[in-house]
Structure 1
Amino acid sequence: MAESKEKFPEVQGGGSLILAWQIKNKPVLVVGGGEVAAGRILNLLNADALVTVVCPAEGLNPEVRHRVAHKQVTHIDRKFEPSDLENLPSPDTSASPLGPPAMVLTAVDDPAASTQIWKLCKAARIPANIADVPPECDFYFGSVHRDGPLQIMVSTNGKGPRLAASIRKFIGQALPVGVGDAIERVGLLRAKLRELSPDIEDGPNRMRWMIRVSDRYSWNEMSDLTDEDMDNLLSYYKPKKVPDIDVLKAMRGGGMSAEDIDVFDGSFGFAI
């Protein structure tokens, strides 16, 4: 077979497959209650997971105690037992157990016990993360920048967590102010557009129009869009146009309608 003359990306081995793991309302087991466990628990709660912490009460640090006291997590006051991988209790004591955990995180100062938990997880085919032991991790926690719906993760694949934090801080400081607000407004606009044009076959048209909207307005203009602005903007969807931001502002309060304004949006270029 003749070799293709096309150029394709070179494979760079040694990386991780970075994914956004949807763990909402899924049971997760955390073994340990110290400082590292507290950080893991916060990450899980931010992702709306159902967290169970197995740790003797005297081993809980102040932050984890706070989570337990405010019923943000379910606490089992003892050391880990293999049966914990079979059925986790529901936060609602009157409800049925949650079943086996979707993932397990250990953060205890006992390497032998951690390795044993990892082996049990492997046998049960449950993804596990053993704190500070990269070879015994099915996944890593990176350093995350968070601004509302925006999440940016920096991973060094377990080689330099402190460096990952520095890089994450650098990226966060370089981002424009209001990025999270802009994304929230874009998400709301997309939801409104799906209501306006709900047919599945119209998906490509919706995507193309949203790309043009995202390219047309700055972050600040996006974050400043009012609900009225969005409704006025959506009136340009069927004509496949995207007005200038000043046009949307002129339409506020019913001052003008889309029919009153002849919008040139650069779609066809111009001639001199």
Structure 2
Amino acid sequence: MKEVTGNPLFPVFLQLNKLHVLLVGGGNVGLEKLTALLGNSPEATVTLVAREISTDVRSYVADYPAVRLRERAFEEADLDGVDLVVVASNNPQLNAHIRNECRKRHLLINVADKPDLCDFYLGSVVKKGNLKLGISTNGKSPTIAKRIKELLNDALPDEIDETLTYMSQLRDLLKGDFNDKVKALNAHTASLLASKEGI
């Protein structure tokens, strides 16, 4: 087997609008995770379970009808019918219990600030219209990920979304086989990007 060096994480973008997410935790960290989920996928179906749900969480979800709040303790039945689990609890025993139950059900889980319990991480995200870039430091430095996000946000022009729309239309008009289309699109994107300073 080839030795893996650097960051071994496999980047993937999920269509959360087609999945059901369970979020356990209704405090500040729960709000942070909820903001990340809904900020990227506003139509995501999320069930939030917590003994106490903060007013900030309640206010935030008021505009998201696909979010259900359950103010009570976590129950194993909460894992029924979900696709993804995010835990924002400061209870180590509960975190471990939910992790074990997720393993039995083959559910992917993220536990806030506990990399050893996570199957995936929520990285920093740069968004410009339809362009979305995920940034991961493999948990080494969220601060650097945040700085890179700010740098890319400033460097990428707001007009990039217009360029993406144009390229999509161009792709649909191109004739020839796959290789011909790839060559034509590569040539066109090279000239577009060369005309943008700083990219």
Q: Aligned residue for 2:192?
A: 217
CA distance in 2, matches of 1:220, 1:39: 38
CA distance in 2, matches of 1:107, 1:164: 21
> 1:208 Cα shift?
2.6
Partner of residue 168 from structure 1, selected from 149, 156, 163: 149
CA distance in 2, matches of 1:40, 1:188: 35
1:142-157 residue pairs with structure 2 within 5 A?
A: 142-157=123-138
Contact kept, 8 Å, 1:35 with 1:61, in 2: the verdict is no
Q: Aligned residue for 2:108?
A: 127
CA distance in 1, matches of 2:17, 2:84: 12
1:61-210 residue pairs with structure 2 within 5 A?
A: 61-68=55-62, 70-86=64-80, 100-190=81-171, 192-193=172-173, 202-210=177-185
TM (normalized to structure 2)?
0.82
Q: State the secondary structure of the residue aligned to 1:21.
A: coil
Cα 1:69–1:19 shift into 2, 3 Å: closer
Contact kept, 8 Å, 2:128 with 2:158, in 1: the verdict is no
- Structure 1: where are the runs of 5+ without partners? 1-8, 87-99, 222-272
Rg larger in 1 or in 2?
Answer: 1
CA distance in 1, matches of 2:195, 2:28: 38
CA distance in 2, matches of 1:220, 1:61: 48
> 1:59 Cα shift?
2.2
CA distance in 1, matches of 2:95, 2:17: 25
CA distance in 2, matches of 1:152, 1:70: 24
> 1:107 Cα shift?
0.4
Contact kept, 8 Å, 1:33 with 1:61, in 2: the verdict is no
Q: Aligned residue for 2:18?
A: 25
Contact kept, 8 Å, 1:178 with 1:220, in 2: the verdict is no
Contact kept, 8 Å, 1:68 with 1:75, in 2: the verdict is no
Amino acid at match of 1:124: R
Amino acid at match of 1:110: N
Contact kept, 8 Å, 2:44 with 2:66, in 1: the verdict is no
Partner of residue 31 from structure 2, selected from 38, 54, 57: 38
> 1:63 Cα shift?
4.1
Q: State the secondary structure of the residue aligned to 2:48.
A: strand
Amino acid at match of 1:52: T
Describe the superposition over 1:98-152 as per-residue Cα deviations: whole angstroms up to 9, x where unpaired: xx21110000221211111111111111000010111000011111111111122
User: What is the root-mean-square deviation of aligned Cα atoms in Å?
Assistant: 2.7
TM (normalized to structure 1)?
0.62
Q: State the secondary structure of the residue aligned to 1:54.
A: strand
> 1:35 Cα shift?
2.5
Contact kept, 8 Å, 1:179 with 1:219, in 2: the verdict is no
Bigger relative CO (Cα 8 Å, ≥ 6 apart) = 2
Aligned residues: 193
Q: Aligned residue for 1:4?
A: none
> 1:174 Cα shift?
2.9
- Structure 2: where are the runs of 5+ without partners? none
Cα 1:11–1:105 shift into 2, 3 Å: closer
